[in-house]
Amino acid sequence: MRTQVAIVGAGPAGLLLGALLHRAGIDNVVLEQRSAEYVLGRIRAGVLEQVAVDLLREAGAAVRMDELGLPHGGFEMAFGDRRLRIDLQALTGKQVMVYGQTEVTRDLMAHRQASGRPTHYEAENVQPHGYDGERPHLSYRHGGSERRLEADFIVGCDGFHGVCRATLPAGALQTFEKVYPFGWLGLLADTPPVNDELIYGHTERGFMLASMRSHERSRYYLQCSLDDKVEQWSDEAFWAEFSRRLPADVAQRLATGPSLEKSIAPLRSFVAEPMRFGRLFLAGDAAHIVPPTGAKGLNLAASDVGLLARALAEYYRGTGPGRSAGIDHYSQQALARVWKAERFSWWFTSLMHRFPENGDFGLRMQQAEFDYLCHSTAAQTVLAENYVGLPLG
Ligand code: FAD
Ligand code: PHB
């Protein structure tokens, strides 16, 4: 089998890239190691920036999002017993869209099926080859037989644990990593959200986040210990702890119910440089991870593939040697945006979580930072500008 662009991974990065390339008339095949149901079963991000919204529209996969997504013009911060609303709309003129990653993935899957471009789910032992030369290809096992997919380019959209970054030769990449000393315990429930807007809270007992998927479905998070096991957290224990961390007046409105999903995610900052090696590109979580506090993971995946799709379209439209300029700049351009999102996610994580190991001095620094935010429109604008997302460039 032969294609122009071979994509590894059918998460949001792989599927959105496939849709954008299809739009530009570029042939592509997606290989995914899991089943479609498994991919849809993962509950992850919930907030889309304008850039991601625009790319989904450009790809032609935004009809349900435009119908069902919830535009939010602000969010709340609670710090001890103090509250601050960040008015995104007033500070930046922009909003974010609350629409779950599961739904984004579902929409992109349906779009792909309608486009007729192939996706091979349950592809085993996918391996990239020859990307340092002119004839890259992927080998894999599917439906009981060994297959080979030849391509002009390979794109690793295969997430943090994927194969593409892992097969690069030692020394090809420089990596940067910070692991945080806690995780997030998340719970999804069919209960009306406790607040109209998201609430990010710093409490004595740790961080909390009240988010949502719709007017009927809530998504809530608690800072938890890395030693915690999800089985130790009954629904009752979650609700009791969540209620304690909510501001008291908000807690009175909390509606509880059985969980649809509960999971623990570790928090990490990670970047691999560069994001291109010969005819192999990395995009999304395959190249970088942010802690979820800034809601940037899915948005960075979208902006990476937005840049890459543009560069590949330029390459296939062009003729002379200049046609490679976009793909030659992809890594540098994507990384400039990635590092700013890394900085913001690290900063917001550092402000909103409890770090007992930082002692009383660390806590006073967090309190002073929050106090400064409360009294400075400039500081709020910095937060808002980063939260709604920087321009694609
Ligand atoms: P992924 O979604 O990881 O997709 C990669 C795909 O590649 C997967 O389908 C995987 O099965 C496939 N794959 C892997 N290896 C192979 C292989 N060898 N061969 C073929 N296919 C392969 N972000 C937020 O903004 N907010 C959140 O609340 C949030 N919560 C998160 C919770 C968890 C538990 C995790 C893991 C992430 C969370 N994120 C969150 C981050 C966000 O979900 C990711 O940034 C986003 O999924 C990145 O998309 P992606 O397509 O790059 O990678
Ligand atoms: C979510 O709804 O899952 C969500 C929202 C905002 C975040 C992280 C996660 O910062």
What pLDDT digit, counting tens, does each position of 8-48 carry? 999 999 999 999 999 999 999 999 999 999 999 999 999 99
Q: Is the pLDDT of residue 213 over 80?
A: yes
Q: CA neighbours within 13 Å on the CB side: how many for 67?
A: 7
Residue 144 confidence (pLDDT): 94
Provide the token pair at 343: 């900085």
Name residue, tokens 């806690």. 182
**Which range is least confidently modeled, 261-265, 275-279, 389-393?**
389-393
SS3 45: coil
The predicted model scores a pTM of 0.97
Measured in whole angstroms, how far is the alpha carbon of residue 347 from the centre of its chain? 17
Cα of 286 from ligand 2 centre, angstroms: 20
Residue 69 confidence (pLDDT): 98
Q: Above pLDDT 90, what percent of the chain?
A: 99
Residue 249 confidence (pLDDT): 97
pLDDT tens digits, 236-260: 999 999 999 999 999 999 999 999 9
Residue 242 confidence (pLDDT): 98
Cα of 11 from ligand 1 centre, angstroms: 6
Catalytic entry in 99, 140, 180, 200: 200
Residue 321 confidence (pLDDT): 87
Residue 380 confidence (pLDDT): 98
Cα of 17 from ligand 1 centre, angstroms: 14
Average pLDDT, rounded, for the chain:
97
Helices (H), ranges, the chain: 12-23, 36-41, 50-59, 63-68, 88-92, 101-115, 164-167, 235-245, 248-251, 297-317, 325-352, 359-375, 377-388
Rounded (5°) CA angle 298-303-211:
30
Q: Is the pLDDT of residue 393 over 80?
A: no
Q: Is the pLDDT of residue 149 over 80?
A: yes
pLDDT tens digits, 177-210: 999 999 999 999 999 999 999 999 999 999 999 9
Q: Is the pLDDT of residue 159 over 80?
A: yes
Q: Does the active-site annotation cover 316?
A: no
Q: Does the active-site annotation cover 200?
A: yes
Give the strand order in the sheet containing 206-212: 82-86, 75-79, 199-203, 206-212, 218-224, 174-189, 259-273, 288-289
State the ligand closest to the CA atom of 214: 2
Catalytic entry in 131, 221, 292, 353: 292
Please tell me if the CB atom of residue 186 comes closer than 6 angstroms to any atom of ligand 1.
no
* Residue 2 DSSP one-character state: B
CA-based radius of gyration for the chain: 21
Q: Is the pLDDT of residue 328 over 90?
A: yes
Average pLDDT over residues 284-299: 98
Of all atoms in ligand 1, which is nearest to the CA of residue 286? 52
Tell me which amino acid residue 389 is.
Answer: G
